[in-house]
Structure 1
């Protein structure tokens, strides 16, 4: 099962786009994060989304939904509610920053970084086109690199963006087990992606390429 967590704004087009573009099934859940304070536009948005969900129901897609009201001026409080919602879920969690209050978007972004292992996907909406855009789930310690990490990224950069375990072992003079562990750690940080097995071969990601170009001060 899936649970989609939305930041519900005044324009529901991003929500509709996300729901219609995903292979949802009856019983999947929707959570709409909204400010505690109501106005005419927010009430209208909720009415519109409920009408849309009723339409889906007539077509055989029964989605459960609920609202999570938060204090938009208390990001720490939003994070507490959001963390609990994500950690308590037994379903695949999708974060959908489709619009709405900026403080909620900030909280969703922090949650996606800190709880990346619990998040299946994170999407936002391109303001100029209205298209749904997938956001990479980066680990919070992505920039914590020691000298060996930086040397491996540099080796990859100097080798056309590709590096192997034997090459790292030879160039850095470290045991094979250490080279293997280090390469897989960089892979977990989304700085490398494995493209071969015999020998284990890794390619720089765009973020890895960027970090490899930085000089350590």
Structure 2
């Protein structure tokens, strides 16, 4: 299977082409902003390097969150547009699952963590590579309690790992991997294994957006206080 994977959900812009888990072309650029400007060029470059053209793709994989609201929309819109143009399936990949899969070994307990700010982390816990529950937005204190309950040696992965480790320096940690985004190889494995019917390219939001729509239209008078 030849597939293109795209990730713009966190602190990097990733585009990569894999065939049967073999990387044909990979671009991974750490960035906080600017995913929209770079993604098209990165996809163009990896497709040219991989050869065969867009028609050679069997599917497209894209991260669906949790992550940056704007970043998610960039990757999802691009992947869905490409899938529609090529008539190829597009599968959604959880960023937390991809972070967990980016570890060198799936053995032992692990926590994939993304800094959600406002004293929270997006988290999902794993044991030997298998999830122990759904992804959640948790207060840092609650996340620490759940991780401590897994045992004395838990691997933390994601940019939320440093947040948790900094808040609780006495928490015994097996290994802290504060990578800014999932590894392209992990994205490819998950995208290849995903069933398009159960992994749609829909954004995964674990918390309401910080911005809210205006309560009145421009020029409309304010409502009197009750």
Do both share a fold (TM > 0.5)? no
Q: Which has the larger radius of gyration?
A: 1
Structure with the higher strand share, 1 or 2? 2
TM-score with structure 1 setting the length? 0.29
